[in-house]
DNA sequence: ATGAGTGCAAATAGTTTGCAAGCTG
DNA sequence: CAGCTTGCAAACTATTTGCACTCAT
């Protein structure tokens, strides 16, 4: 159970037809212990040195997102960030612009949004929502 | 009336201490007639040729956002987009990943989000929310 | 006239692509 | 052993910065 999140994600990857490599496992471990969404560069920096190339992180995170193993977010400056889907319900974040402190926000209007999307005939709906502010210390 | 949106925005800029230049006026006109949020590059492309440098568009849009004349959004790929605040209530968009078709979405949870932010002691709250999907034609 | 704003060039940050070699199922 | 994956290098896109010059107030 130490790593049930990672295990669940690995199964998910496998079922989605993606291959299980040591690089990907390491990335999932990093994502599992992160308390906030990580960018590709940040995830790479957290990997045991020499685990894999930054490019591989970009490519894998893209695949992870495609099959739903991770949830994609965007920072105020446009940087893409990812966090594991398993073990976390769909959620969003409140991030301090200055220090990066991040808090989890559980409110989400996914259903309402998807309903609007469907009313226009759109499919494969997804959404991005992030809250930014200045935290008490900054 | 032809340009009340632009006029309101110009007044707003002026009151915020920003200067009124022909470049900025041209940008506001482009934003006023756009039916969807524009990136800096797109806004620049819509300007009468030779109006100003792309860099100026970036710098001005940043200022516009800072004083609230425009509303910032982010595309799924991280590109920042802007639309006029005046004349439009705060809102969001539903964008087709394939063709870029964009529909306005009026639902927003700004209040709930800001309340959560304040509960953590955060100030100067802002949020980004965008909905993506594949439209009927694509 | 004074400082905000602009243009041009150059630097960055984040991300993507091409291709040959490696490893998974 | 087929083809998904990776590494390395290089290209790209979006955006930012430095600096001298210009213009709005």
Asked whether B60 and B27 are in contact (CB, 8 A), the reply is yes
pLDDT reading at A117 higher than 70 = yes
Asked whether A31 and A84 are in contact (CB, 8 A), the reply is yes
- Indicate the pTM of the whole model: 0.88
pLDDT of residue B21: 98
Is A80 touching B (CB cutoff 8 A)? yes
Confidence of residue A46 (pLDDT cuts 50, 70, 90): very high
Asked whether B73 and B32 are in contact (CB, 8 A), the reply is no
Calpha distance B109→B126 (Å, rounded): 11
CB contact under 8 A, B135 and A122: yes
> Is A60 within 7 A of strand C by CB distance?
no
Section A106-126 average pLDDT:
91
Query: How far: B19 CA to D20 C1' (Å)?
Result: 20
Calpha distance A65→A87 (Å, rounded): 15
pLDDT of residue B76: 87
pLDDT reading at B1 higher than 60 = no
For the ranges A5-9, A86-90, B50-54, B131-135, the lowest mean pLDDT is seen at A86-90
């Amino acid at each position: 159970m130490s790593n049930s999140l990672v295990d669940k994600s690995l199964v998910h990857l496998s079922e989605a037809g993606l291959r299980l490599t040591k690089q990907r496992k390491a990335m999932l471990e990093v994502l599992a212990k992160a308390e906030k969404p990580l960018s590709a560069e940040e995830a790479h920096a957290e990997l045991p040195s020499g685990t894999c190339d930054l490019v591989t992180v970009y490519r894998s995170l893209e695949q992870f997102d495609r099959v739903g193993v991770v949830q994609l977010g965007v920072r105020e400056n446009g940087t893409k960030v990812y966090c594991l889907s398993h073990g976390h319900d769909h959620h969003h974040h409140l991030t301090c612009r200055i220090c990066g402190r991040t808090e989890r926000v559980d409110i989400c209007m996914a259903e309402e949004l998807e309903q609007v999307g469907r009313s226009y005939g759109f499919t494969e709906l997804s959404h991005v929502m992030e809250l930014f502010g200045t935290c008490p210390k900054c």
